[in-house]
Amino acid sequence: MSMYRAWQQFFKYLSIFSVLITLSLLIYLVKGLGILQNPDALAQALEKQMLLGSLLFFALQVIQVVIPIIPGGVTTIVGFMAFGPFWGFVLNYLGILLGSVILFLLSRHFGKMFILLFINEQAFDRYERKLLTPTYEKFFILNMISPVSPADVLVMITGLGRMSFRKFFIIILLCKPLSIIVYSYFWIYGGKLLFK
């Protein structure tokens, strides 16, 4: 097995492992801390370690974008629950923004081989065909606004295209706040309503 193939396998198994860890965390948050009944439970648990927790969470958000194997939606919600609506948003936004910039630049520098570490050839071909269409920029903007989209994959694919870094950065800068807020508030407060 080639070294590249070994790295692909590594990220595949790491992705499976991260999903299992994420599910375990969700079970703990719901059953152990009761976050659906009390969205402030996680913030109360982290109260004495807020600075360290903030730094670790920010790093986690950057990493989960750059190495897209952790479900980003889960970490986004956890950020709001742990740090409240204001700091939760700030940490989520800055972490995702920085992670997206790094991911775009890595894809632009290393190209297709980098992207194929995280997605299969069929998915890559599908997104690449979309990249070559004249409406790709609108498609990208709509997906960056949407709270449910393959954002990290699209950031990587966009790195292969002709879009300038400046335009990419402005799109992420302006579109990400809405998707972060909508996704987080829907799951936090929607879940709370469901379990009343």
Residues contacting 157, CB < 8 A, separation 6+: 107, 115, 124, 127, 128, 130, 131
More confident residue, 184 or 106: 106
The domains of the chain are located at 3-194
Sign of the CA dihedral with 75 first, then 173, 53, and 61 last: positive
Q: What does the pLDDT read at residue 195?
A: 45
pLDDT digits (tens, 9 = 90+) for 50-97: 777 788 888 888 888 888 766 667 778 778 777 878 888 999 999 999
How far is residue 9 from each of residues 14, 118, 167, 183, measured CA to CA in Å?
8, 10, 34, 31
Sign of the CA dihedral with 94 first, then 67, 69, and 123 last: positive
Nearest to 57 by CA among 32, 39, 24, 81: 81
pLDDT at residue 112 is higher than 60: yes
pLDDT digits (tens, 9 = 90+) for 3-18: 877 777 777 777 777 6
The enclosing H or E element of 137 equals helix 136-145
